[in-house]
Amino acid sequence: MTGLIKGCALALAATICIAGGANAQDCPVKLGAILPVSGPMGQVGERISNTGAFAVKLFNEAGGVKGCPVEYVLRDTQGQSAIGVDAAKSLVDLEGVAALIGAVSSGVSLPVLTSVAVPSKVVQVSCCSSSESFTALAEEGKTEGYWFRTYATNRSQSAMGAKLAIDSGFKKTAVIYVNTDFGVGLAKRFEDDIAKLGGTITSSVAYNESQQSYRAEVTKALEGEPDSLFLVAFPVDGATITREWLALGGTDNLIVNNSLRSDDYIQAVGAQYLTNLVGYDSAQPRVASVDTFNELFEAEFDGPPDGPGLHSVFDAVNVVLLAMEQSDEITGDNIREGIRAVTADGGTEVYPGVEGIQRAKELIAAGEAIRYVGATGALQFDANGDVQAPKMTWKLDGETNVETGYMSTEEVAELIKMLDAN
Amino acid sequence: MIGVLSYLIFFLILALTFGIAVMGLNLQWGFTGLFNAGVAGFLAVGGYTHAILTGPARDAVFGGFELPFIVGLLGAMVAAGVVAIIVGLVTLRLRDEYLAVATFGIAVSIQLVAVNWEYMTGGTLGLIGIPNPSKVLADGPLRQNAIYLALVVGVTLLAYIGLQRIVQSPWGRVLKAIREDEVAASSLGKNPTRVRLEAFTLGCSLMGLSGALYVGFIGFVGATDFLPIITFQIWTMLIVGGSGNMKGAILGAMIVWGVWTGSGFAISKVVAPEWQAQSGALQAVLIGLILVLTLLMRPKGMIGEDVTVSRHATDL
């Protein structure tokens, strides 16, 4: 029984301890990142992380936050929720970060948000989590405004997939989708959307990630003689499925989601088999800020910023750092307000890159309102912390992917409105 | 150093929560010799049951009964126990590696059910808004977490004391007898099949309890929370801490979870972000190394098994 008494005494002592002063404002200012740089999402996560670090580097070249250099502190989630939660808590408590970038998958972002970010009053900005659960949680007031994402929600993705299918003249579409919150939500919406536009679905088949073969799923999807396939997948598994689909006699009329606009996927399948492929992706608005980012990225990484999450993580980092610059004191609450302030309508527009950030800092120092227009264009966070983004469509020309169409934020909103109204 | 204290509390909550599952596994493997490779599945059963019983009502999803926290914990134990009885009746006639393969398959099946049975589990969206009782009792994450830690410490102690009494009882000695020589045990009139089922069920209900405490703390349960790698983590904790000793089980949970998270912290301190993808693999290697070193240098773990099996034995 002495063990019990000791345990209670320890717990009591811990309970009495009072949460004292917040983290002190010392140099460097730390920005936490929780991203899956190893594990099944490692390939995607590593590029996202490097782009985030690049945004920090540019910000530092422009003078950092409040004269302090910014330190980018990365913790690997390994794609596991318990590891991600611990990493986030350690960043908040031991490193004293007031804002977190991440995570990639919603299954990690959500536990981090509910058990670390919101209770600790730390802002969390995800580049990539697409689950509808975040919107639901925000509507219930449970995110307390600490949650933002620079990644457009699924809603527009299914609309784009359906529009592509109809515009290409397909009548009977099979769907193979990844069995995650992302894939399930998208596939479900797609069924509704394509029906409203006059198409039909022959079958809708979920696949689980990281399998050696998807023969069973592909065989099932081939039933009903579809004239096209809508594939919602990530590059590695997506390539396996596409190869098996073509090998088993499936049509090469492919419609693919945003994640497959990736050289990994195209090279793994072979561009010569993908001549009839069409895809969509979040597009950058036709504003100069996007070209600025693309040029900066190309100069740094020796290749175009193709792939999921790169533009959105760049903007996630920038809005957080600008919000810090805007704040009197760097706290989660101030950043939460600051993010809205630096993206609000009516401010002087500022752009990415060293000069753009320097200009932003000058304006903030002069007490003027700014509006950050970045790699994903002008971000407009709604009450739930969500954004919409313009879309583009693409196909392959030889080995390279070329754009075939562009829809602005307004046009995307109109398409969704039309689909939801019917 | 409020930050360090705050993190320490957070760390202990997770480590002790895993420790409860390790004690359950210890009862099965350390005392009875049952190779349960499906720990993640029973954690998931407990976690989801807790979420369904205590969580808020949702459209199109079963559950949301908003029952008290304690009902969630007990319900999780019962649910995991019931699943264990069903699984046990089917698989416990299997021995060693056959049992391991069967239970591993069951854990994977449970995870797939969690992903696909949307009406019950919310599918890949998971179940959100699971209430954490400490949130209504105090303000601020430090106090809230301290209260939750007190609760986890209390549950851990209850489980520890209960298990110690059980394994020192005559029934506990039968467990060891079965582990050492099943034929000899049955020749003494014991019913090994029945006792194995009892030990398996009790151990699994502790895993369910652990899953419930995890979900109650995090406030969310999703299909990716209980991946097969958790089973490996729990097993490593048991082997490192010392199989056959409940103190060892708790110690092992602390050490292995400490190395797992501590190595992540150290890597982020030492290694530049652009090289972390490579060093992430190093982390897995490190855990493997600790496991192998333990097996080579301290095959019985940090704290080995108690030689005395009866508390009356010392009276002699």
Put simply, whether B276 touches A (Cβ < 8 Å) is yes
Asked whether the beta carbons of residue A114 and residue B217 sit closer than 8 angstroms, the reply is: no
Whole-number pLDDT of residue A386: 86
- Band (B314; pLDDT cuts 50, 70, 90): low
Asked if the Cβ–Cβ distance from A114 to B157 is below 8 Å, we say no
- Interchain CB contact of A142 with B (< 8 Å): yes
Residue in chain B nearest A50 by alpha carbon: B274
Distance of alpha carbon B107 from alpha carbon A237, whole angstroms: 23
Which residues contact residue A169 at a Cβ distance below 8 angstroms, ignoring those fewer than 6 apart?
Answer: none
Which of B116, B125, B284 comes nearest A133 by C-beta? B125
Q: Judge: A115–B149 Cβ closer than 8 Å, yes or no.
A: no
User: Closest partner residue to A115 among B123, B217, B222, by Cβ?
Assistant: B217
* Sheet containing A370-374: order of strands: A348-350, A370-374, A377-378
Query: Chain B 116-145, CB below 8 Å of chain A: which residues?
Result: 116, 118, 123-126, 128-129, 135, 138, 140-145
**For residue A272, is pLDDT > 60?**
yes
Distance CA B111, CA B229 (A): 12
Q: Provide, as residue numbers in chain B, all residues whose Cβ is less than 8 Å from the Cβ of A45.
A: 277
Chain B residues 145-184 with CB within 8 Å of chain A? 145-147, 149-150, 153-154, 157, 160-161
* Cα nearest neighbour of A41 on chain B: B277
Contact A38 B281 (CB under 8 A): yes
Q: What is the mean pLDDT of residues A171-184?
A: 89
- A153 vs A157: CA distance, rounded Å: 8
Q: Does A367 touch chain B (CB under 8 A)?
A: no
> What confidence tens digit (pLDDT) does each residue in A282-316 have?
776 777 888 889 899 999 998 888 888 898 999 99
Dihedral sign (CA B5, B9, B10, B14): positive
Q: CB of A107 within 8 A of CB of A80? A: no
Within an 8 Å CB–CB cutoff, is residue A115 touching chain B? yes
pLDDT digits (tens, 9 = 90+) for A229-243: 999 999 999 999 999
Contact A403, A165 (CB under 8 A): no
Residue of B nearest to A78 (CA): B280
* Chain B contact present for A28, CB below 8 A: no
What pLDDT is stored for residue B63 in this prediction? 78
Tokens of B190: 């014991």
A204 — contact with chain B (CB < 8 Å)? no
- Asked whether A395 and A278 are in contact (CB, 8 A), the reply is yes
Residue A12 has pLDDT above 60, yes or no: no
Q: Do residue B141 and residue A131 have CB atoms under 8 angstroms apart?
A: no
DSSP string, A329-383: S--HHHHHHHHHHHH-TTSEEE-SSHHHHHHHHHHHHTT--EEEEETTEE----T
Determine whether the interchain pair A96/B3 forms a contact, defined as Cβ–Cβ distance below 8 Å: yes
Chain A, 91 to 110: residues with Cβ < 8 Å from chain B are: 92-94, 96, 105-108, 110
Q: Are B3 and B11 in contact (CB under 8 A)?
A: no
Q: What is the number of CB-based contacts under 8 A between chain A and chain B? A: 188
Q: Residues 216-255, chain B: which have Cβ within 8 Å of A?
A: 217-220, 222-225, 227, 229-230
Q: From the list A17, A42, A107, which residue is nearest B5 (CB)?
A: A17
Give the gap in angstroms from C-alpha A131 to the nearest C-alpha of chain B.
7
- Look at B276 and A74 and tell me if their CB atoms are within 8 Å: yes
Q: How far apart are CA A297 and CA B302, in angstroms?
A: 51
Q: Which of A74, A90, A179 sits opposite B273 (nearest CB)?
A: A74
List the single residue in B126, B147, B223 with the smallest CB-CB distance to A133: B126
CB contact under 8 A, A105 and B219: no
If you search the block for the tokens 């997506």, which residue do you land on?
Answer: A238
Judge whether residue B13 has pLDDT over 90. yes
A141 in B contact zone (CB under 8 Å): no
Give me the pLDDT at residue A335, please. Answer: 95
Q: Closest approach of chain B CAs to the CA of A344, in angstroms?
A: 30
Inter-residue contact B48 to B121 (CB < 8 Å): yes
Q: Which of A120, A127, A69 is nearest to A97 (CA)?
A: A120
Residue B273 touches partner A, C-beta closer than 8 Å: yes
User: Quick check: B268 and A3 CB within 8 A?
Assistant: no
How far is the C-alpha of A118 from the C-alpha of A333, rounded, in Å?
A: 10
For residue B149, list chain A residues with Cβ-Cβ distance below 8 A.
Answer: 11, 14
Q: Does B258 touch chain A (CB under 8 A)?
A: no
How open is the CA angle B263-B264-B266, to the nearest 5 degrees? 60
> Which of residues B277 and B34 earns the better pLDDT score?
B34
Q: Which of A 218-247 lie inside 8 A of B, CB atoms?
A: none
Task: State mean pLDDT over B231-247.
Answer: 92
CB atoms within 10 A of CB B130: 25
Q: Do A82 and B220 touch (CB under 8 A)?
A: no
Do the Cβ atoms of A184 and B2 come within 8 Å?
no
Mutate to test the interface with A, among B9, B224, B265 (most CBs of A within 10 A): B224
| B15, two tokens | 């480590």
Considering only the beta carbons, identify the residue of A12, A33, A80 that sits closest to B227: A80
Domains of chain A with bracketed CATH: 29-151+290-378 (3.40.50.2300), 155-276+390-421 (3.40.50.2300)
Which amino acid is it at A230? F
Contact call for residues A39 and A234 (beta carbons, < 8 A): no
The whole-angstrom separation of Cα A30 and Cα A151 is: 23
* Per-residue model confidence as pLDDT tens digits over A140-167: 889 999 999 998 777 788 899 999 999 9
Nearest to A15 among B115, B150, B224 (CB): B150
Cα separation, B245 vs B302, in Å, equals 10
pLDDT digits over B146-195, tens only? 999 999 999 999 999 999 999 889 998 899 898 888 888 888 888 888 89
- Cβ neighbours of residue A95 closer than 8 Å, sequence gap 6 or more: A30, A32, A73
Instruction: Say which of A38, A78, A181 has its CB closest to residue B124.
Output: A181
B276–A19 C-beta distance less than 8 A? no
- Residue A105 to residues A182, A307, A335, B118, Cα–Cα distance (Å): 9, 15, 23, 19
Are the beta carbons of A335 and A324 closer than 8 angstroms? yes
State the pLDDT at residue B203: 96
* pLDDT digits 0-9 by tens, B51-73: 999 998 876 678 778 899 999 99
- Mean pLDDT is lowest, of A87-101, A210-224, A364-378, for A364-378
Share the mean pLDDT of chain A.
87
- In degrees, to the nearest 5, what angle opens at C-alpha A231 toward C-alphas A381 and A80? 60
pLDDT at A4 over 50: no
- The rounded mean pLDDT for chain B is 89
- A301: helix, strand or coil: helix
ipTM of this predicted complex? 0.89
Are A369 and A348 spatial neighbours (Cβ–Cβ below 8 Å)? yes
State percent of chain B over pLDDT 90: 50
Give the whole-angstrom CA distance, residue A323 versus residue A337: 8
Chain A residues whose beta carbon lies within 8 Å of the beta carbon of residue B112: 208
A6 pLDDT tier (thresholds 50, 70, 90): very low
Query: Which pLDDT score, from 0 to 100, does residue B278 have?
Result: 75
